[in-house]
Structure 1
Amino acid sequence: MTETKPGVPNSETDPDVAAELEGVPADMIDSPDKTLEADLARVSEELETARQDILYAKAETHNVRRRLEKDIADARTYAATAFARDVLSVADNIARALEAIPAELRADDKFKNLVAGLEATGREIEKVFASHGITRIAAKGLPLDPHQHQAMIEMPSDEAEPGTVLQELQAGYMIKDRLLRAAMVAVAKKPD
């Protein structure tokens, strides 16, 4: 029979202790310090894993928050894009109407008010565009930029370098730093 210390339960004499120790390996019963060290190492390992998981979760949450803030800012900045594209056709039609009025009719008293009204409307549209960050793309005389210009035709030219924009067929526009509509242009090519 094993010797017991006073106040320490003995598995041989106490049925409750025997029931609790049932299924526990004998080496664990014999050396509780080793078991505690192993448990402590396991718990430390689990704690470190949990700490890493929390750090990853925090980083992912931060990234998601940043992406959402950027998406919200972009939505505010570019919310009027579709509407602005629609209004561009109105601005184009006003410009075409002004170009179509011959110089002699512009001087006629009957047409002066019409011309002045169309010009004022054109200026107002340009002012509204400017207040919303919509700017016209420079094209004529510049090299073709495929990010801003759409070449519609090539025209032979001795005066301009090949690839230079000779004529703007339809104005292009940017909204802030994004392309709203590419400028449709005629581009120089070497003469035949």
Structure 2
Amino acid sequence: MMDDTNKPDTAGADAEIEKELEGVPEHMLGDEDDAEEESEPDLSAELEQLRNDLAEAKQETLYARADTQNVRRRMEKDVADARTYAATGFARDILSVADNLSRAVESIPEALREDEKFKGLVAGIEATQRELTKVFGQHGVERIAAMGLPLDPNQHQAMMEVPTDEHDPGTIVQEMQAGYMIKDRLLRPAMVGVAKKPD
């Protein structure tokens, strides 16, 4: 017969366990089998949520990358335009110099051109005009063709109508001021007179 004094004292251990479990909600104290069954659906839901979050993050990343590429392309275009049209303001200001130089060359009388005293002066003015035209060309500034062409509202500005039978109506027969383009942009329209049928 076994002496009770040799039995292990489990009462104290049980009391300690019960004390530790005090305050723990009852739904958390179920069987292990029940806990496993409850955790499986929770894991499936969490996995599905993680997949949705990942898909959303991928979509946002694609949008962000596309926006970045668009911003970079816009910046590259702005830089290219700035380089291409950097001389626009200066060219527009210098056009009056080109106008005055053209008027000076056109107003030189033929007799003065033949005069030995003024040949050098005339040659210098004409050389200056050629050099200015060359510099314009290097920066993409080109004179707009006008005389004998149909009126183009994108490049020509009609200042007057000229009655004539020698040209079709709408044809440019007079140029009061030269027009210029810089690359593919209008720098200044040509001011012209346009043919019309005589009354």
TM bracket, shorter-chain basis: 0.7 to 0.9
Q: Within 5 A, what are the aligned runs for 1:1-192? A: 14=21, 18=25, 31-192=38-199
Paired-residue identity, %: 63
Which whole-Å deviations, capped at 9, do the CAs of 1:87-117 have from their partners, x for residues lacking one? 1111111110111221112212222122111
Q: Secondary structure at the match of 1:163?
A: coil
Aligned to 1:24: none
Q: Specify the code of the residue in structure 2 equivalent to 1:175.
A: I
Q: 1:97 to 1:46 in 2, by over 3 A?
A: same
Give 1:171 shift: 0.9
Give the superposed CA RMSD: 2.4
Q: Secondary structure at the match of 1:180?
A: strand
Instruction: Point out where structure 2 has 5 or more consecutive residues left out of the alignment.
Output: 1-19, 29-33
Give TM-score, length-normalised by structure 2. 0.81
Give 1:30 shift: 5.5
Cα distance in 1 for residues equivalent to 2:189 and 2:96: 13
User: Paired residues, what number?
Assistant: 176
More deviation, 61-70/132-141? 132-141
Give 1:179 shift: 1.0
Q: Secondary structure at the match of 1:188?
A: strand
Q: Secondary structure at the match of 2:174?
A: strand
Q: 1:34 to 1:158 in 2, by over 3 A?
A: same
Give TM-score, length-normalised by structure 1. 0.84
